[in-house]
Chains A and B, each alone.
Chain A
Amino acid sequence: MQHSDNIGRIMGVGGNLVTVEFDLPVVQNEVAYVRLEEQGRHVGLKAEVIRVRGRYADVQVFEPTHGLCVGDKVAFTGELLSVELGPGLLGQVFDGLQNPLDAIAAEHGFFLARGSYYRPLDAQRRWDFTPCARPGERLRAGMPVGHVPEAIFRHAIMVPYGLKGWCTLVSLVEEGAYTIDEVVAVVLDEDRREHEIRLTQHWPVKIPITAYAERLRPTQPMTTKIRIIDTYNPVALGGVYCIPGPFGAGKTVLQQITSRHADVDVVVVAACGERAGEVVETIRTFPELEDPRTGRSLMERTIIICNTSSMPVASREASVYTAVTLAEHYRQMGLKVLLLADSTSRWAQALREMSGRLEEIPGEEAFPAYLESVVAAFYERGGVMRLHTGETGSVTIGGTVSPAGGNFEEPVTQATLKVVGAFLGLSRARSDARRYPAIDPLDSWSHYDGVVDPAQVAEARRLLAQGFEVKQMMQVVGDEGTSLEDYFLYLKAEFLDAVYLQQDAFDPVDGATDADRQRRVFGLVSEILAMDFTMQDKDAAKRFFLALTQTFLDFNRIPMDDEKFEDMERSIRTRCKEAARDA
């Protein structure tokens, strides 16, 4: 616990909200420690000032509060809630306040212990530092003075993000091995003040890192190897998207698949208020999975922020900010970072719980009135940036939303939809019908450019909508009341759905379709959809499409570099052409 001269006294406790009387000035959102004696040891429970009224500050405590008494001491630190940024973050599992969970487990065993905080980075480890600037050089915040190797990347050691204006590099150490606390460079700022640069720096989580030249428009697609996303509802590098869905529709599975296959450098997983079992699966399986791009373990490019549903609710709120700040740090090195937040609804509920305790006037479904601006500000931290070095880096944010009752008309889904660039809505009907991924192809949308020709996609979308309309009609009027023309629309829509929009996540080939293959196969599918087939009755048409679907599904399981791929592609095309009229 940090030493502090600014000591307040507890005046009230209700849940994790503690009211503190103070004498010296306090700062909104500064960190305070609530002192407590537990089983003979003195601990400080981390807390954050969230409201000041007169001489009383309301602080939210990031730990259970039982045992606190009126009159107990609270130490204000004057520092905003911050994380430590430096080499060694990759591959780690942190809680919402950046405590390394392995260190807690080593000390306390099975259970989390309140008031135990550990340094997120290893202070003993030495990193091989290579300088990349010269004394006398003019630098700005976020520009590198050198780098250290971390996993497959060069972790840039940068001028602190908070430094204003230009500065001059005064001194720089030689190439060599240094710990994170050793000074490697000194810079002189415009006011001629000296600043020491170490391998790490601190940054307040709720303030975006803005040490870049400019924001760019996200234009490049981020391939996820999931066809219904990349082709149909694409996500751009630096874009933001959301995945709402009722329970059991496969939100978390979709996030897990994305975290494996997405074409990015670093993945930050924020398990925010969800099941512990799911994050355990990620923790246990990622070290054994191979990153297809590098051949190294997937864990080496992953950071897990884990604040599961039974962990304290206030740090659940902090966890998404911790995650996005770590993501921004790696973006500053010119890397492509993907942040997956599961689930943003739990974070919104954490806001609601605190708002309720503060007795604020509630908005819709008791969510606070500032819900929308808070959600918007969070998603705005995604983006693609041109850095001062001329490189670009991006943070792509994908958040799941768990709407109450599976109804998308609720405040969190609506607030999120206003700010995202792509909406991947999961549907209960599709997951019940075992159509995976259960993203609704008609309701979902995206403003980003995908990997295939947009004109082709628009045509396929139109056909799908018509075909599904016919399908609905057929449930009322039966096969007999449907014209052959409409019946073909229905069969084509089902074919498109079965062979392209659905994907078998368990099959190594079908489960991950890269951009080249998507362009090629979607071209073939579009060709088939445009054909005018000659079958004279519905039974024959149905038989033809069932058989074609079966063949196509086998085709989906053949790797593109296999010699059978082209044969099969050719035979499918011939077979369709033979059954169709010449255009």
Chain B
Amino acid sequence: MHRIFHRIEQIAGNVIMVQADDVAYGELAEVSSPKNSSLAQVIRLERGRVYLQVFGGGRGVATNAKIRFLGHGVRMHFSDSLLGRIFTGGGLPRDKGPALTDALIEVAGPPVNPVKRVVPTRMVRTGIPMIDVFNTLVESQKLPIFSSAGEPYNLLLARIAMQAEVDVIVLAGMGLKHDDYLFFRDMLEEHGALSRAVLFIHTAADPTVECLLAPDIALAVAEAFALKGRRVLCLLTDMTNFCDALKEIANTMEQIPSTRGYPGDLYSQLASRYEKAVDFHGAGSLTVLTVTTMPGDDVTHPVPDNTGYITEGQFYLKGGRIEPFGSLSRLKQLVNDKTRKDHRTVMNVMIQLYAEAREAKEKQAMGFRMNAWDRKLLTYARLFETEMMDLSVNLPLEDALDRGWSILARSFDRQETAIPSALIEEFWPA
């Protein structure tokens, strides 16, 4: 039974209001104007008044548009035939494939019961030494890449997607530049990763409201794959655009803003997405990696700030490199004692020395005289930056650890590094 209503009483931004009864909160409707049609979702009920956010945007909606309520919330097809497909943020085909309308799952489903979660134990190998060695990514982790505009964050995300040893990749692009979308598509295709990927792409040119749907649909699909025992990596870029879309709708609905115009429930909104990351006891896992661009490179901006309180660490991308300071994987100690016995030592020693090297660099910049140790540190910093930190470096963890030893050996004498003697004997290159 579909109920159809005609008279739209208010159009403001992307939100329309219609007089209707027997409508459920969260229900979907189809809004058809003479020139266009779009899906919309109920976001407020007030006596007989029904407010809907129109996914296609308010532009072109006629007051006599036909509004047909569909009797269900947002749903998405789920099966293995999603793999290799590309959809819009709203879940419609963006490639030339068929629309998938059967086997539907609910989007934005209930949260996982905390007692059914397990403490994660498996590492996600990315082939990027700054992650694998220094801030290991762990299955079921939720981690954002904090970056300012202009940094190659999408390149980093794409590289992790291609190399990560996971079964399924689900990518949601929010407010993505069309070039970036093509970049993701081509890169995944070239490396043969497209066949195990599903893409939900909302580009900057698409209506704002769809931007809100993209991460929810992607996470629902990712969760469904994980429930079937797959190890899933879900990539969301860029969450700041998602938050800006939230802000836009909240302001249209005349909600009282909290900080810098963002709605008061920003934390809860972000948390309900990030907390989808999970390791199911007896099924698969879902790892969530996102991009959060920091407006003005300011980490106290509400979006990165709220994100930092939710996620299990963060990667700072600065100057084209993953910053060793500030970047943190809160879960790394769960896995990095099971990789190779020199892993933790290499991780600690190289960072401590790099911190010292940075001080030496400052000293040099201020015109102080360099002593022998300072010169060694400067050599070390140069090698570390070019052979380890550079984003183009692509090594399995074991090779990256070996390279770490090689860098140390080329920069210092073996007794200068404060590494336990037993490890020196075993690993210091001859």
- Which residues of A approach B to under 8 Å, CB–CB? 10-15, 19, 64-71, 93, 101-102, 104-105, 108-114, 246-248, 273, 275-277, 279-281, 283-284, 306, 308-311, 313, 346, 349, 352-353, 355-356, 359, 362, 365-367, 402, 404-407, 432
B284 CB to nearest chain A CB (Å): 11
B24 within 8 A of A: yes
CB contact list, B90-122 vs A, under 8 A: 109-120
Tell me whether A113 and B110 are in contact (CB under 8 A).
yes
A68-B25, A284-B119 in contact; A112/B328 too (CB < 8 A)? no
Having A110-B116, A405-B305, one finds 10 other A-B pairs with CB under 8 Å, namely A15-B265, A67-B26, A68-B45, A110-B227, A113-B110, A273-B267, A276-B275, A277-B331, A309-B271, A310-B271
B263 within 8 A of A: yes
B10 within 8 A of A: no
- Which residues of B approach A to under 8 Å, CB–CB? 21-27, 43-48, 73, 109-120, 140, 227, 255-259, 263-265, 267-268, 271-272, 274-276, 278, 280, 283, 300, 302, 305-306, 308-310, 312-313, 325-326, 328, 330-331
A531 CB to nearest chain B CB (Å): 29
B192 CB to nearest chain A CB (Å): 32
A266 CB to nearest chain B CB (Å): 21
Which residue from chain A places its CB closest to the CB of B46 in the assembled complex?
Answer: A12
Contacts of A65 in B (CB 8 A): 25-26
- How distant is the Cα of A64 from the Cα of B283 in the complex, in angstroms? 26
B212 CB to nearest chain A CB (Å): 14
Q: Which of A11, A66, A280, A405 contacts B114 (CB 8 A)?
A: A280
Tell me whether B114 and A306 are in contact (CB under 8 A).
yes
Q: Which of B24, B110, B265, B305 contacts A68 (CB 8 A)?
A: B24
Tell me whether B300 and A66 are in contact (CB under 8 A).
no
Q: Which of B25, B114, B264, B271 contacts A69 (CB 8 A)?
A: B25
- How distant is the Cα of A313 from the Cα of B310 in the complex, in angstroms? 15
Contacts of B306 in A (CB 8 A): 404
B289 CB to nearest chain A CB (Å): 15
- How distant is the Cα of A69 from the Cα of B44 in the complex, in angstroms? 10
Tell me whether B111 and A349 are in contact (CB under 8 A).
no
Which residue from chain A places its CB closest to the CB of B259 in the assembled complex?
Answer: A365
Tell me whether A432 and B325 are in contact (CB under 8 A).
yes
Tell me whether A308 and B113 are in contact (CB under 8 A).
no
* Between-chain CB contacts (< 8 Å), 19 pairs: A65-B25, A67-B27, A110-B116, A111-B110, A114-B110, A247-B305, A248-B308, A273-B271, A275-B312, A284-B119, A306-B114, A309-B274, A310-B111, A310-B275, A310-B276, A346-B267, A356-B258, A362-B256, A365-B258
Tell me whether B275 and A111 are in contact (CB under 8 A).
no
Contacts of A11 in B (CB 8 A): 46-47
Contacts of A67 in B (CB 8 A): 24-27, 73
A248-B328, A356-B264, A359-B256 in contact; A276/B112 too (CB < 8 A)? yes
A70-B48, A110-B227 in contact; A101/B264 too (CB < 8 A)? no
Which residue from chain A places its CB closest to the CB of B262 in the assembled complex?
Answer: A366
Contacts of A432 in B (CB 8 A): 325-326
A70-B21, A71-B21 in contact; A110/B267 too (CB < 8 A)? no
- Give the residue among A11, A273, A309, A355 with the most B Cβ atoms within 10 A: A309
B281 CB to nearest chain A CB (Å): 8
Tell me whether B111 and A111 are in contact (CB under 8 A).
yes
Contacts of A102 in B (CB 8 A): 115
Contacts of B22 in A (CB 8 A): 69-71
Contacts of B140 in A (CB 8 A): 277
A70-B45, A105-B116, A309-B272 in contact; A349/B267 too (CB < 8 A)? yes
Tell me whether A66 and B305 are in contact (CB under 8 A).
no
Tell me whether B259 and A353 are in contact (CB under 8 A).
no
Minimum-distance CB pairs A-B, first 6: A66-B26, A405-B300, A309-B271, A310-B275, A366-B258, A247-B308
A105-B113, A309-B267 in contact; A280/B118 too (CB < 8 A)? yes
Contacts of A281 in B (CB 8 A): 119
Tell me whether A14 and B111 are in contact (CB under 8 A).
no
Which residue from chain B places its CB closest to the CB of A352 in the assembled complex?
Answer: B264
A471 CB to nearest chain B CB (Å): 15
Which residue from chain B places its CB closest to the CB of A248 in the assembled complex?
Answer: B328
A32 CB to nearest chain B CB (Å): 17
Which residue from chain B places its CB closest to the CB of A283 in the assembled complex?
Answer: B115
Tell me whether B257 and A112 are in contact (CB under 8 A).
no
Contacts of B302 in A (CB 8 A): 404
- How distant is the Cα of A67 from the Cα of B108 in the complex, in angstroms? 13
A65 CB to nearest chain B CB (Å): 5
B180 CB to nearest chain A CB (Å): 28
B138 CB to nearest chain A CB (Å): 10
Contacts of B300 in A (CB 8 A): 404-407
- How distant is the Cα of A347 from the Cα of B177 in the complex, in angstroms? 37
A75 CB to nearest chain B CB (Å): 19
- How distant is the Cα of A69 from the Cα of B48 in the complex, in angstroms? 10
A71-B22, A309-B310, A404-B302 in contact; A112/B111 too (CB < 8 A)? yes
A67-B73, A71-B21, A275-B312 in contact; A280/B119 too (CB < 8 A)? yes
- How distant is the Cα of A402 from the Cα of B331 in the complex, in angstroms? 20
Which residue from chain B places its CB closest to the CB of A367 in the assembled complex?
Answer: B258
Contacts of B43 in A (CB 8 A): 14
- Give the residue among A13, A273, A352, A365 with the most B Cβ atoms within 10 A: A13
Which residue from chain A places its CB closest to the CB of B299 in the assembled complex?
Answer: A405
A99 CB to nearest chain B CB (Å): 10
Tell me whether B265 and A353 are in contact (CB under 8 A).
yes
B152 CB to nearest chain A CB (Å): 25
- How distant is the Cα of A387 from the Cα of B314 in the complex, in angstroms? 49
Which residue from chain B places its CB closest to the CB of A350 in the assembled complex?
Answer: B268
B98 CB to nearest chain A CB (Å): 29
- How distant is the Cα of A349 from the Cα of B263 in the complex, in angstroms? 11
A434 CB to nearest chain B CB (Å): 10
Tell me whether A110 and B113 are in contact (CB under 8 A).
yes
Contacts of B274 in A (CB 8 A): 309-310
- How distant is the Cα of A22 from the Cα of B328 in the complex, in angstroms? 53
Contacts of B21 in A (CB 8 A): 70-71
Tell me whether B47 and A70 are in contact (CB under 8 A).
yes
Contacts of A284 in B (CB 8 A): 118-119
Tell me whether A247 and B309 are in contact (CB under 8 A).
yes
B396 CB to nearest chain A CB (Å): 27
Contacts of A108 in B (CB 8 A): 113
Tell me whether B275 and A308 are in contact (CB under 8 A).
yes
Contacts of A248 in B (CB 8 A): 308, 313, 328, 330
A294 CB to nearest chain B CB (Å): 25
Contacts of A64 in B (CB 8 A): 110
Q: Which of A101, A105, A313, A404 contacts B259 (CB 8 A)?
A: A404
Which residue from chain B places its CB closest to the CB of A406 in the assembled complex?
Answer: B300
- How distant is the Cα of A93 from the Cα of B116 in the complex, in angstroms? 12
A320 CB to nearest chain B CB (Å): 16
